[in-house]
Structure 1
């Protein structure tokens, strides 16, 4: 049999998924609030256009050559860069370059504590993790985990939560798992403090080796153990859950936001009706901007609905900077941290908020329009071989390759683009090895949003210490695959059984993304 022939027909799940997408696209959007997209003004799709889109989105059957337009993963927004700054360029079709550069300046700004003579840049903290967005999102890419005790935890944070009863706004959302901030330390451990304040704790990470035998070699993984040392405000609540996270990459966020919610929801199979072992679920979260439930798309557990709310949340928890969405000048300081709440803040001037609506909008525009680099070597025979193996292993059941974005007359740079993010943006049980025990809206302590794969092959060119998975434990793409469990166990087992040649081809394909 030729190397690149289709070995087996598409799985029932893949066929069902594309049929469902067609049916949803051919119908008006549901009145379900989870489908509402108040931040967009999309044009409806007619039946003819929907059928055309469904044909474009169909899975490949020929692995001897690339698919049409596969070299442009972000459509006309694709950029042609592959060096250290590959993720830092504006989308190729973006006209508003001046505001993009103003947004970059805010993203790279070093904030200072109040009171300060630099009134436009004060308000940092009083407790914080970093002084600038850029410090964590290194070259707009991934952060990294500490290599061991004593190493810096910059670009690495620890989320905290305790169980709670769902409030009335979300009580009707099925499987909603409400949480509250830890009573003393809030939503996140801040390991830096303004003068006169005391940092909450010191984050330390060490690792236990985990060996995995492959047919021709043994791979040693590292299982992280996170310790919070020198807790400055007393013990943690006994019911607290702790979830370490590295800063995620920022490329293509605006295009992800422009994917029709109906298309993402069409891939969900929460009861595993087709019996393939994959039961993706949509996360439904509360929008602070629009005061309604919305589809979660962003964050490791899809806990945020829009790029703007994601930017505001980062200002709030990482820097202690107030915005119109999170107006508290003390950031994530809890009611128990009275000195922090009583400290000077930077919201007492004409800005009203430390990062006002204009600053938040510019930062959002920048984050939403960072370009996705073009594919590299996609017609290389080894890359094509690896793409076939990727499909044989069942990876597209979660890492869905492509979408067509909404038609958005007022946002031409995001409008009607064929994009290849390689994610279904749904929640999946990833097994005990990756479980953090921390719920987030509908996401359980074992569930994670499928990570987009575009740009993954350049991650360690952009930042040589970049780590993979939510906590940066994986030092290579192979290590990341070998941590997959739960719903991804069958795909992981397939990869473990590959020959060295086929495994190298799979990694070569991923590195081309």
Structure 2
């Protein structure tokens, strides 16, 4: 952060009652105009998604999601609409812009631990739960049976022994880059629906896709002693030259993936493989606190405004309640809550059962008989799962409350130049700058915060270049959820690398932008046409986030 930002942060947010004052600041800021966000009362029927390419004919028919916020008065709705409207003034930083997670923002110095701080407005009596969750996030699980009975149950197949193994320093993963380990990156395995029953399950949002009959949902490259791992991920790259508008040539690397050393026979012919990299963990609770109506307001399935952007909402089920909800976590928005995302990681990445995913054999299938014969770590005196409810709850609490770092150099002229270009090239059509979170959140730390995630959390067709051919619920093989950008400028500091996109193919932010296609092609071409100085300014803006 620059000195001006630091001064503003300290004067506005670091005194007594910071959470209460930040909510008051939000009310002041949003009360300056009465023009209402025209999309907030859009009538959204998920049945219209039936026309989507590759989706079953009646997918999600009859489901409704909220199109109105119920936590605010009409006057407050208008004020929120005003404060979240993108700025047109790039002469100075916006008020509170440096605090991109509101009162929850961490103002600690930028270090490798920048993604590991507790949200700044968490009350003291909840810090213990955060620390316990942190310890469980770092916990190394071992195979059963073991003398450390509270720590056994690993696998039998797995990709990592702990959450931290994938999310090093709570940051993003990376490709193996020729090394022996692919711990923070793995292959998803899935096929589309075949039978009428399977299509109905997709249409009802009861399942997002179907696993390989032998290898399940995920290729696990590690196994407990006495069991052969399923196989390994193989990656090869082809360099492709791209010439920008001013003649500069950039080399992009196109990956090819394969599942090799398969120990239990070939993959099914219908199985698709998709490489996924572990995302950063910051700001997840705030993302969950964004009202569904405010995300849906940005959806434009039929591109009614003619801007070429037609983001759509992902419809899933909250695994705990069984109710229909908006998907907002995962590369294809397949999970509605941080808890669902955590339970999936326990089950698929580590092979640990939880109340929400109670199978103690993890991703073993009926075809992997020896895997199903291996002992589990269930200890009846501790509960019916290897990670009982309190463990899942603490890891979820920790994941929900990892702080987003404050902006750096938000008020610098070069950053503001890049911000203007980011807006003018159309990037904010998907990377929506701001939201105000729900007032009635379970955790008051996430309540009524003005946040700057730079994402609409919708699904977008990103073109053939990024396509993986794998349908996940409503997301086709060409569609991905818009990832939030906050913290992206600290990737090298926290994670020690600069690999981006879902599979780390991009080696820097310029390459990441140039891979954009489909709905993002217009913005990508606008970036490509900028002068080198302007492109560098835009990257400077991203690095400030």
- TM-score normalised per structure 1: 0.91
Which residue does the alignment assign to 1:423?
A: 455
* 1:160 maps to which of 186, 189, 192: 189
The answer to whether the aligner puts 1:186 opposite 2:186 as a matched pair is no
Does the 8 Å CA contact 1:22/1:50 hold for their aligned counterparts?
A: no
The answer to whether the aligner puts 1:276 opposite 2:304 as a matched pair is no
After superposition, residues 332-481 of structure 1 pair within 5 angstroms as 332-351=363-382, 352-408=384-440, 410-481=442-513
* 1:300 maps to which of 331, 337, 356: 331
Aligned partners of 1:33 and 1:228: how far apart in 2?
A: 37
Give how far 1:17 is off.
10
Give how far 1:151 is off.
4.2
Shift >6 Å, 4+ stretches: none
Give how far 1:139 is off.
0.5
Unaligned runs of 5+ residues in structure 1 are: 1-15, 25-31
Give how far 1:216 is off.
4.2
Give how far 1:171 is off.
2.6
- Paired residue secondary structure (2:416): helix
Which residue does the alignment assign to 1:18?
A: 37
Aligned partners of 1:118 and 1:328: how far apart in 2?
A: 21
* 1:78 maps to which of 86, 89, 105: 105
Aligned partners of 1:36 and 1:311: how far apart in 2?
A: 25
Which residue does the alignment assign to 1:3?
A: none
Structure 1 residues 251, 34: closer, same or farther in 2, change over 3 A? farther
The answer to whether the aligner puts 1:91 opposite 2:122 as a matched pair is no
Aligned partners of 1:170 and 1:428: how far apart in 2?
A: 19
Does the 8 Å CA contact 1:177/1:443 hold for their aligned counterparts?
A: no
Does the 8 Å CA contact 1:280/1:426 hold for their aligned counterparts?
A: yes
Give how far 1:58 is off.
1.4
Aligned partners of 2:518 and 2:133: how far apart in 1?
A: 40
Which residue does the alignment assign to 1:12?
A: none
After superposition, residues 254-333 of structure 1 pair within 5 angstroms as 254-333=285-364
Which residue does the alignment assign to 2:71?
A: 44
Which residue does the alignment assign to 2:162?
A: 132
Which residue does the alignment assign to 2:514?
A: 482
Aligned partners of 2:391 and 2:263: how far apart in 1?
A: 33
Aligned partners of 1:99 and 1:172: how far apart in 2?
A: 36
Greater alpha carbon shift after TM alignment, 407-416 vs 427-436: 407-416
Does the 8 Å CA contact 1:408/1:414 hold for their aligned counterparts?
A: no
Which residue does the alignment assign to 1:54?
A: 81
The answer to whether the aligner puts 1:507 opposite 2:539 as a matched pair is yes
Q: Deviations over 1:25-78 (max 9, x none)?
A: xxxxxxx865369xxxx9621111111111111111110001111111000000
Q: Deviations over 1:252-310 (max 9, x none)?
A: 00000000000001110011111110000001012221112211000000010100010
Aligned partners of 1:353 and 1:177: how far apart in 2?
A: 22
- Paired residue secondary structure (2:86): coil
Unaligned runs of 5+ residues in structure 2 are: 1-34, 44-61
Give how far 1:152 is off.
2.1
Which residue does the alignment assign to 1:210?
A: 240
Aligned partners of 2:465 and 2:137: how far apart in 1?
A: 34
Structure 1 residues 302, 450: closer, same or farther in 2, change over 3 A? same
Structure 1 residues 433, 160: closer, same or farther in 2, change over 3 A? same
Aligned partners of 2:478 and 2:86: how far apart in 1?
A: 29
The answer to whether the aligner puts 1:221 opposite 2:252 as a matched pair is yes
Aligned partners of 1:480 and 1:56: how far apart in 2?
A: 29
Which residue does the alignment assign to 1:145?
A: 175
Give how far 1:227 is off.
2.1
Does the 8 Å CA contact 1:177/1:444 hold for their aligned counterparts?
A: no
Does the 8 Å CA contact 1:90/1:369 hold for their aligned counterparts?
A: yes
Does the 8 Å CA contact 2:460/2:479 hold for their aligned counterparts?
A: yes
Aligned partners of 1:213 and 1:445: how far apart in 2?
A: 27
Structure 1 residues 139, 304: closer, same or farther in 2, change over 3 A? same
Does the 8 Å CA contact 2:352/2:387 hold for their aligned counterparts?
A: yes
Structure 1 residues 410, 155: closer, same or farther in 2, change over 3 A? closer
Structure 1 residues 335, 34: closer, same or farther in 2, change over 3 A? farther
Does the 8 Å CA contact 2:498/2:508 hold for their aligned counterparts?
A: no
Q: Deviations over 1:120-174 (max 9, x none)?
A: 00000010001010010010010001213x542110110000122446555357x
Greater alpha carbon shift after TM alignment, 467-476 vs 362-371: 467-476
Does the 8 Å CA contact 1:399/1:450 hold for their aligned counterparts?
A: yes
Aligned partners of 1:134 and 1:500: how far apart in 2?
A: 38
- TM-score normalised per structure 2: 0.86
User: How many correspondences in the alignment?
Assistant: 484
Structure 1 residues 409, 206: closer, same or farther in 2, change over 3 A? closer
Structure 1 residues 17, 326: closer, same or farther in 2, change over 3 A? farther
RMSD of aligned Cα (Å): 1.9
Aligned partners of 1:227 and 1:177: how far apart in 2?
A: 25
